Amino acid sequence: MNSDKPKYNEVPETPQNGKPAVGPQAPTTSAANRLLDYAAQSSGPLPAAEPKDKPGAKSPSKRGLTVGAIIALVIVAGLLLGFLPRLRQSRSTATDTSQLAIPSVSVVSPAPGTNRAGLVLPAEVKPWREASIYARANGYLKNWVADIGAHVEAGQQLALIETPDLDQQLAQANAQLVLSQANLHLAEVTDNRWKELLKTASVSEQAAAEKAAARETAAASVEADRANMRRLQELVSFQRVVAPFAGTITIRAVDIGDLIIAGSGGNQLFHLAQADKLRVYVRVPQTGALGIAPGQAASLAIPELSDPVPAKVLTTSESISTISRTLLVQLEVDNSQHRILPYSYGEVRFEEGAASSGLTLPSNTLLFRAEGLQVAVVSSNGVVELRKVQVGRDFGQTVEISAGVTTADRVITNPSDSLVTGIKVQIQPTANTLAAK
């Protein structure tokens, strides 16, 4: 059913001036259409149209369309304002996620090795000369005259041993020598007589030869008994226990009345050490053995002394031990002031030569793989490359690298076991880099 009243939500087809009216275009989105319908329904019945003779009056339908368009624009603007920050945040999150997917590493560059530190190794300090003194004759200790700490000279008596059995053997040997000399005298007289008889053919040549042989036998027996006599006399002289060289008595292991057994099978009587000079023994690892040579300067540090003592390499064993894979090195230290006690613990620092050593890297940069020792080097574009290196001397916190890296390389510290060649990494800024920024 047609009605004469115009609809409020429609635009008149022809305005008063006869030209087609172009109304504001409503938003094409469904949300905007629903808002326009809601605004038209809630506006209620509009008052009757003004007479056409009032040019200043606006059409009720235009006012509703304008309100709806404004509301639609506000809604669209609100949607845009809410969508753009979320889009920006989503893009930022994606960027951060991609950055976090690349592991961050710390790097260090190989540094030239310094010769100042040298090679520090534990040392064994021994006297220049030492001897364990045993008895050479059996008997009983009659007396000792040198106690521990006594400074003795070469040939000085240390103890006296009673040797009753040896004294009897010496007396018997003396009597046997007298008997042999008497037999020799008789053999000489007989031989001379038979030689005279042989001239007159009173005896046979065979009998004369036998008497001459008996004379020679008796002479040999005398020499044998005389040698035995000298041997026993030498043994008797060992009743006096004397110092073989000048030094200090460090051990006295016997007392008066002790049974003395000759030879090393018995108990040690004294221990003598000469400490005016000291011998220092050091075992150098195989990696540093080629850097040790006789005449090389070194220093001996003793915990009880504030300053190290100069030392010099005397000789080396010139062979690597199959057990410890080390080179035995002997050094000489002057101890004329007796500041260092023998058998003390010390550390020897070998002074390096003038030639520069290889590059050094921290120990935590090494990777222990089946292929050998490796390091992870980061290229200029952030790609990791695993390189095989040759390690020289081990200084504890740092190691010497003889081949495999240069000073321009950037080596990863504390590398993970999952690192492989070709992986992408990013380098963490250091404190110096942050300060420069």
Would you place residue 51 in the very low, low, confident or very high pLDDT band (cuts 50, 70, 90)? very low
Tokens representing 322? 């199959």
Q: What is the pLDDT of residue 383?
A: 87
Judge whether residue 159 has pLDDT over 90.
yes
* Secondary-structure breakdown of the chain: helix, strand, coil percentages, each rounded to the nearest 5: 30, 30, 40
Higher pLDDT, 251 or 94: 251
Task: Tell me the per-residue pLDDT of 418-430, one tens digit each, with 9 for 90 and over.
Answer: 788 888 888 887 6
Instruction: Kindly report, residue by residue over 209-234, the tens digit of the pLDDT.
Output: 998 999 999 999 999 999 999 999 99
Residue ranges per structural domain of the chain: 1-101, 105-114+357-436, 132-252
Residue 19: is its pLDDT beyond 60? no
Of 35 and 85, more confident:
85
Which of the residue ranges 106-115, 189-198, 201-210, 234-243 would you say has the lowest mean pLDDT? Answer: 106-115
Please write the tens of the pLDDT for every residue from 111-150: 876 554 567 899 999 999 999 999 998 999 999 999 999 9
Q: What is the pLDDT of residue 366?
A: 86
- The pLDDT tens digits of the residues spanning 382-420 come to 888 888 888 877 777 888 888 888 888 888 888 888 788
Write down the pLDDT at residue 403: 83
Tell me the H-state helices in 4-137: 30-42, 60-101
Q: Distance (Å, rounded) from C-alpha 232 to C-alpha 246?
A: 27
CA distances from 233 to 54, 167, 432 (A): 166, 9, 86
Who has greater pLDDT, 206 or 426?
A: 206
**Whether residue 157 has pLDDT greater than 90:** yes
The residue among 415, 361, 369 whose CA lies nearest residue 391 is 361
Q: Give the pLDDT of residue 73.
A: 82
Longest dimension (CA), the chain: 207
The pLDDT of residue 96 is 57
The stretches of 200-287 forming alpha helices (DSSP H) are 205-237
Average pLDDT on 71-90 reads: 74
The CATH architecture annotation of domain 105-114+357-436 reads Beta Barrel (2.40)
Q: Which of 178, 238, 188 is nearest to 213 (CA)?
A: 188
Q: What is the pLDDT of residue 289?
A: 86
Taking residue 208's Cβ as centre, other Cβ atoms within 10 Å add up to: 19
24 Cβ contact partners less than 8 Å away, ≥ 6 residues apart: 62, 65, 66, 69
Mean pLDDT of all residues in the chain?
A: 80
pLDDT value at position 59? 53
CATH match of 132-252 with 1.10.287.470? yes
Q: Strands 104-105 and 426-427, how do they pair?
A: parallel
Q: How confident is the model at residue 33 (pLDDT cuts 50, 70, 90)?
A: low
**Is pLDDT above 80 for 95?**
no
pLDDT digits (tens, 9 = 90+) for 231-253: 999 999 999 999 999 999 999 99
In DSSP terms, 410 is beta-bridged to: 378
Instruction: Spell out where 379-428 has E strands.
Output: 384-388, 390-394, 398-403, 410-412, 426-427
Is the pLDDT confidence value at 44 over 50?
no
Q: Given the structure tokens 């060992």, which residue do they identify?
A: 238
- Is 71 in contact with 379 (CB distance < 8 Å)? no
Residues 70-99 have a mean pLDDT of: 70
Q: How far is CA 321 from CA 279, 296, 314, 329, 332, in A?
A: 20, 21, 19, 12, 22
pTM of the model: 0.52
Six token digits for residue 74: 């506000």
For residue 18, is pLDDT > 60?
Answer: no
Amino acid 369 reads R
pLDDT band at residue 98 using 50, 70 and 90 as cut-offs: low
Q: How far, in Å, CA of 354 to CA of 296, rounded? A: 12
Q: What percent of the chain has pLDDT over 90?
A: 38
pLDDT given for residue 118 in this prediction: 66
Residues recorded for the chain? 437
